[in-house]
Structure formats: structure tokens, C-alpha cells
Chain A
């Protein structure tokens, strides 16, 4: 046992550029990949991290100076750059919790399935980064790998349970039986949207209003492209901070480049993870298949609804305005503006496609997200530095809207209490499992909450 711990310590101290490929290759072997395939997977993921690091420089070179001007000239306290989910995911996977997250969460999932605490088989391996994120920030704050793992497990357990609870609505929406959404961010929005839906039901003027979001969608079409979002935003911000023509154009192109290149780099990471994801998937599905199980998918499968797409695009200006007016916010929304639809993926099924409810709910969630993304910024930046990402001197802090995860925040607050906190985390997650026992669905849970 000592040998294993020492070996693990040695590997994790090699620096992320070596540690990640080695750990991923080991995980690959665990899922029965051949040695060559495992090494290839590890190296591929490592390449993705190097690419990510290179592209992040665009933020510090071009967007960092803008935040300084916003602070000095306009008195806007926007000192943190939203680097977007690709950066957050890459960073989360690069933490010490992140490199073991895949086998660990699968283990948690299997324990939950065996003890009949969940019906969801979470095969959405990529989105394990949300759990790794929770674990990673806890590790940064508490300095303990084990508290980090506990936090990640708690987040995963809550995610599986909420996936079960919201499964029926999701299945109706998709027209696809036997699936659920245990994605680590999407599940944090489910309780908020459920509660808001209850409130809307009691408000006058909120009954069955239908708007043809398809028509709005047509007009907004091309604006949904990340490249265009980056370009337009760069130019607008350039003009706003008083750049000259050359600087404005430069900022526009740089922001467009960031929007296009960041996901490409993460794609390399994803490609490296495909064989492991396949191995993990067939391992899980062989053991847990049949009608009594739900297949856990990414919330991305919900994004095809025109209501989600339309409100998603409208949330771009909403996020920017909220960022300027909310006093507690320090985040300049940027990277995740290309992914705003993800924030309301669960709102459309819960609000049954109602445009106004989705828009209002989306705005509220965006405010919540900004608050927590701002809170996490210094911790994420410190985690990134600990993980070996190179920050230039005096660089702007980074965060991601998709890391504005209130469940991660609650778990972190408990984890700060160390041992007592760990006990409380176990008790609370256990309590939640007890409350939602026997696979109660969304409607029943809402009724109970309403009484």
C-alpha cells in the first residue's frame, strides 16, 4: 500500500505535462486498453493540455488589458475573465482529483446502482469534469486530496439523484425513453427551475403563454456562431474602452480566435479520452442494462429545442448587462457566452417550452452563475497555478460561468470545516437520498415541496 501511495505521489509531482499522460494511460489500462492504445490516449490528452495552455495566452495578451481599462476608466469591477467551460474542464481534469476521476466516479455510480439508490448509469464520462472541479477546488482550499475526493463523490451522488428525479420530463422532451441527464452543472439548475415554475404557476399573466421562438431564432441565426460572438464582442468592447481602429480590430480577431481555438484544443483532450470512455461505457452497460436503468447523457442532447437556442442567444446580452449591474460580480463574461444555451438546457423541459418562463429563469440563473463564478475565480486561478498552467506576471484571474456551480460551493463550504464538514457532507447527501427514496419523480417531489 505504501508503495502505491509513494508511486502515486511521485507521478503526481512530475508536473501536469508528464503526470496527466501517465495517469490517463494507467486509467486506460484499467479499462483493458492495449498498452500502445493506452499510451496513445495519454499522450493525446497531454497534447490537448499543452494546446489549452497556449491558447489561454490569448486571454492574457488581449483580454487582460481590457479588464484593467474597465476597472480604471469605468470603475467597473470586472477583474476576472471568464475563460469558458473548455478551460474549466481542462483544468479540472488536470488536477490530482481530475486524473483519477473517471474510475472513481464509476465506482461511486456502481455502488449507487448496486444499493438501488439511483437508476442512472452515467456514461457521460467527459462531464465528470464538473465533479473533478468540485474536488479540485476543495483540494486547493483544504490541501487534502481525500476531502477533494469526498466532495467529488458528494457532487456525483447529488447529480445522479437529480438526474433520476428529472428523468421523466427529459424523456418526454426528447421523445427518448430510458435516458436522464446527470451533467454536473445542469443538475444544479433543476431545483431552481422547479421552484420558479411553481412560482410562475401562481402569478397572473404567466399561464400558457406561447411565443414562436422559431421566428426569433431565424433572425438571430448566424449570431450563434462562437466565432461571430467573439468578433462582435471584441469590437464592441474595443470601441467601449476607447481603443483605436487597429487595436479594436485586433481585439475582435483575438477574441474570435479564442472562441474557435479553445474548443478545438479541448477536442484533442476528448479524442484522447474516447477509447477510455468507450471502455468505461461498455464496462458499465454490460453490468447495468435493461428497462430499470436510465442511460445518463450530457445536457447537450437537449439543446436542439428552438426555445433553448433562442433564449440561449438572448442570454448573451443579458449576461453582459448583469455583469455590469450586479454589485457582487467581478467576472467579465466571455468564453461561456458561446455556450449560454447549456445554462437553460433544463429550463425548456421543466417550463414545457414556455419562452417567457425560460427567459426569466435563464436570467435569474445567469445572476446566480455570475455570483459563484466570481467567488470561485481566485480559487480556480490558484488551482490552475498549482496544476502547472503558466500565468504571466500580474495576469488577470480566470474563471468560467460553467463553474458557477452552487452545489460545488455548498460542498466546499462544508469541506472547509474539515472533519466535521466531511461528516456533514455524508449526512446531508444521505438525507437527500432518503428523502427522494424509491425513485420519486419530479411531479411527486414538486407536490411534496409545495405542501
Chain B
């Protein structure tokens, strides 16, 4: 089972929305994954046992695991591309 970190500015508002979207995406594709919701500063503490980072903003920092910006989950523009990108990471 893969572990996904979902992070936004405060780990409260935007990330809740992304988690909601992510959960329905996972459900639709019958993928089981663990989701950790946190704020930006907390990402580092979780990367050791996670496979993917999904954030609401562009990260200037490099982590040892891949990260995806999911602004499209909020704006709705380009949401399908982001979804297939996430799926390809989870299936690899």
C-alpha cells in the first residue's frame, strides 16, 4: 500500500479539499493508499515512509520522493492531467 502526503499552507483548508478529491480518485480506481494530511513544514517528517507528495502550491524545495502540485484540484482547470499524473506515480 502506498502512502501519500497531502500538504497545504496550514494543513487545514486546501489540503482537506485535496484529500477529498484524492479519496474519490482512489476509490474510482480501486487503489488503496494511506493519506497523511499536514502543513508544509511537516512534510519533511513524513517523507521517509511515504511515496508521493501532493501539495496545493509549487514547492521550491526538493524532497527524496516525487511531488505533484494539485492546484488544479482547486481551480478545476487541468484536473484530469493531475489525476493521471498521480495515478501513474501510484502504479509505478
Decide: A174 and B58 in contact? CB cutoff 8 A.
yes
A274 to B21 CA separation, bound complex (whole angstroms): 10
Q: If A222-B44, A309-B41 touch, does A338 touch B10 (CB 8 Å cutoff)?
A: yes
A/B interface sample: 18 pairs, CB < 8 A: A86-B12, A127-B13, A225-B39, A263-B11, A267-B12, A270-B16, A271-B20, A274-B16, A281-B76, A297-B75, A300-B10, A301-B14, A301-B74, A302-B57, A303-B57, A304-B57, A338-B10, A342-B9
Query: Chain B 68-92 against A: per-residue CB contact (8 Å), 1 yes, 0 no?
Result: 0001001111000000000000000
Contacting chain B: which of A49-57, A66-74, A175-183, A382-390? Answer: A175-183
The 4 residue pairs across chains A and B that have the minimum distance between CB atoms: A224-B41, A300-B9, A304-B57, A303-B9
Q: With an 8 A cutoff between CB atoms, is B33 at the interface?
A: no
Closest to A268 in B: B16
Query: Does residue B59 face the partner (Cβ distance < 8 Å to A)?
Result: yes
Q: Choose from B45, B60, B75 the contact partner of A306 (Cβ within 8 Å).
A: B60
B58/A214 in contact, CB under 8 A: no
B68 to chain A, nearest CB (A): 12
In the bound complex, residues from chain B placing their C-beta under 8 Å from that of A224 are 39-42
Decide if A285 touches B76 in the complex (CB within 8 Å).
yes
Task: Note all chain B residues with C-beta closer than 8 A to A178.
Answer: 75, 77
Chain A residues near B17 (CB, 8 Å)?
A: 270, 274, 277
CB-based nearest B residue for A342: B9
Assess whether B56 is in contact with A300, with CB atoms less than 8 Å apart. Answer: yes
Interface residue from A267, A270, A304, A339 paired with B59 (Cβ < 8 Å) = A304
Q: Answer whether residue A266 sits at the interface, using C-beta atoms and an 8 A cutoff.
A: yes
Question: Shortest distance in angstroms between B43's beta carbon and chain A's nearest beta carbon?
Answer: 10
A residues with a Cβ closer than 8 A to B are: 85-86, 123, 126-127, 174-176, 178-179, 214, 217, 221-226, 263, 266-267, 270-271, 274, 277, 281, 285, 295, 297-306, 309, 338-339, 341-342, 345
Give the interface size class of chain B: 20 to 34
List of B residues within 8 angstroms of A85 by Cβ: 10
Q: Is the CB of A298 within 8 A of B13?
A: yes
The answer to whether the Cβ of B8 comes within 8 Å of any Cβ in the partner chain is yes
B13 / chain A contacts, CB cutoff of 8 Å: 126-127, 270, 298, 300
How far is B24's CA from A274's CA once the two chains are assembled, in angstroms? 13
A75 to B44 alpha-carbon distance, docked (Å):
40
Min CB distance B4 to A, Å, is 17
CB neighbours (8 Å) of B57 from chain A are: 174, 300-304
B36 CB, nearest partner CB in chain A, Å: 13
Query: Are B75 and A300 neighbours in the complex by a CB distance under 8 Å?
Result: no
Question: Most chain-B CB neighbours within 10 Å: which of A175, A270, A285, A345?
Answer: A270
Q: How far is the CA of A331 from the CA of B87 in the complex (A)?
A: 47
CB nearest neighbor in B for A217? B61
| Contact among B10, B16, B37, B61 with A339 in the assembled complex (CB-CB below 8 Å) | B10
List of A residues within 8 angstroms of B44 by Cβ:
221-222
